[in-house]
Amino acid sequence: MLKKYIRSSDTLSIISRVAKENAKGHISGYILAGVCLIIVATTTAFSAWIMQILVDDVFVNHNLKTAYIISGSVFAVYLIKGAATYIQDVQLNKIANNIVARYQTRLFDHLIRLGLSYFHKTRSAYLVGQINQNIAGVRNLLNMLITVVLRDLLSVIALLAVMIYRDPILSAMSLLIAPPIIVLVARFKRRVKRIARQGVDLNSRVASSMQEATQGIRIVKAFTMESQLSEKVRNLAAAAEERANKMARITARTSPLMETLGGVAVAGVVAYSSYNVIVLGGSPGDMMSFLTAMLLAYEPAKRLAKLNVNLERSLVDARMIYEVLDTPVHQRDKPDAQPLNIDAGEVVFDDVSFFYDGSSDETEPVIKELSFIAHAGKTTALVGPSGGGKSTIFSLLQRFYNPEIGTIKIDGQDIGDIKIASLRSKIAYVSQQPFLFEGTIADNLKYARPEATQDEVIHAAKLAQAHDFIVATPQGYDCPVGENGVTLSGGQRQRLSIARALLRNAPILLLDEATSALDNESEALVQSALETVMKDRTTIVIAHRLSTISNADTIYVINDGQVVDSGTHSDLIDRDSGIYAYYNSLQATGVPDLQKNGASTDPAPDTSTKQHENT
């Protein structure tokens, strides 16, 4: 009956999936709640049934003994009904809360395994807002069905049985209002599906805008953006309010429909019952029992009529949750993937090409037939204009993406055949924009190696020239850093980022302009520390200030996804026609950072130096 009532294969598939994934661990809880709901439905029907005895035996026949028995029975029944209602309510909320926790965990576990491309296409603040709303909707899906089926549907069936027993003909007449209700509610359902999804989207955008504003509050205030952002949120909130009001209007339309048709039915029953008792000599008790059953059936019948509308709102949430959970994890370990074994740590890019959209049909590659060697235990620097592909090289080496063509090897092992976790555990990475997580300084450092001792944490901080400012804080290494390190300066955050990489103690070290956020004094100290740490470690450095890589063993000039020049610092300067010499002359005359130089390589005398192969 319920399946025919819902009338949607997609709806049934979603309900089936939610039930399959969540009901198994709560069988005993659902059985207990189900028994309680059956008790509630049965006691409701008993209230209508007993009205016949009350009227005929007590009010008509004046049987006082029966009145006492009925009073005691009614008290006992409502006591049982109250206890059953309490138990089922607590039990179903307990299950719902567990379902929320499970979906939160599942979604997070799945999201952090998705590739970077997914997050490049989806704004994080919007995603968080959307997920929070969707989980709240899914929370009540199973509980709604359990409650409707075992309480409302059984109550209506039990009360209908009482009505049919008391007067079959009148019962058949009363059921004539059901078909028009079902037809009209089905029309409401289609509109609810569309509006519910729009509402989730708008509310997510409101939450996203608020989160972005709080995260960028310094920029907001610096550029006096308060009015603009307030207007933006006001417009989004107004649109969300309009959708919510529209949803309320559609959902509420079942009430006047039920009230009108129910009023017609009740009026007809009262008129017929009165005629039957007064003219035809029918039993007053039977008619009172019938009327009581009919009136008691009104509320659960109204909830059943709203089932399709309310259910569709939860199903929209469930569909959007599964859109995230069903997003494939493109980067998976091969079935025969092996752990990475590093002897020396030599990194080789062999004829590598890469397209960010994963297709080479009509897209210009970001990396074009790139080949170079980062020798084991040596420092290799990557230099070139912004957008040339340097950061993409780091992403490919860490397998955030897979190359379309060519291979990347570490000590002769193709990283495509290596377990991703094993590969990344052998690499320490310092980004240009340091990111700290909510927690203490010690927590953030130990993310690199959770088993590290306190002495090892302190040693890494000292190497990164971070120990002094850490112990200067009132709580030392237990000092909270705030959201993304908001309580610290940019230079302090960068030094903690470097300390975290050093604590990992990995054989391969990647530095993406690691000293860019430091003042001159701190940069000199950290640069000295890095030179000590980089000894006998394969280090690849992305640099925009050439002074920071003057001692690199090999420097590769990257432009337009290719190696266009290579050599040592002195070799490259001696080549008057090279890009490196051109940028060196710019920085020598007051342009200290390639990133700040917005010019492309066009002004350089020669940008066509042929690509160097593995040297």
pLDDT at 613: 35
Q: Which of 346, 349, 402, 343 has its CA nearest to residue 556?
A: 349
Q: Which of 484, 465, 476, 469 has its CA nearest to residue 441?
A: 476
> What's the domain count of the chain?
1
| C-alpha pair distances (Å), 513 with each of 340, 391, 427 | 27, 10, 16
Q: Which CATH number fits the domain that encloses residue 135? A: 1.20.1560.10
**What's the angle, vertex CA 469, arms to CA 468 and CA 471, rounded to 5?**
70
Cβ–Cβ under 8 Å, residues 213 and 226: no
Q: Is the pTM of this model over 0.95?
A: no
Return the structure tokens found at 171: 């019962």
Residue 125 domain boundaries: 2-202+246-325
DSSP state of 612: P
Domain membership of residue 493 (yes or no) is no
Determine the 3-state secondary structure of 383 from DSSP: strand
H/E element, 430: strand 427-430
pLDDT at 323: 85
* The one-letter amino acid at 215: Q
Helix intervals (H) in 398-485:
420-425, 441-446, 454-463, 467-472
- Residues of the chain predicted below pLDDT 50: 1-7, 359, 361, 592, 594-615
pLDDT at 381: 93
Helix intervals (H) in 306-384:
307-325
Domain membership of residue 527 (yes or no) is no
Q: Which is it for strands 379-383 and 405-410: parallel, antiparallel or unpaired?
A: unpaired
Tokens 């070290």 map to which residue?
Answer: 509
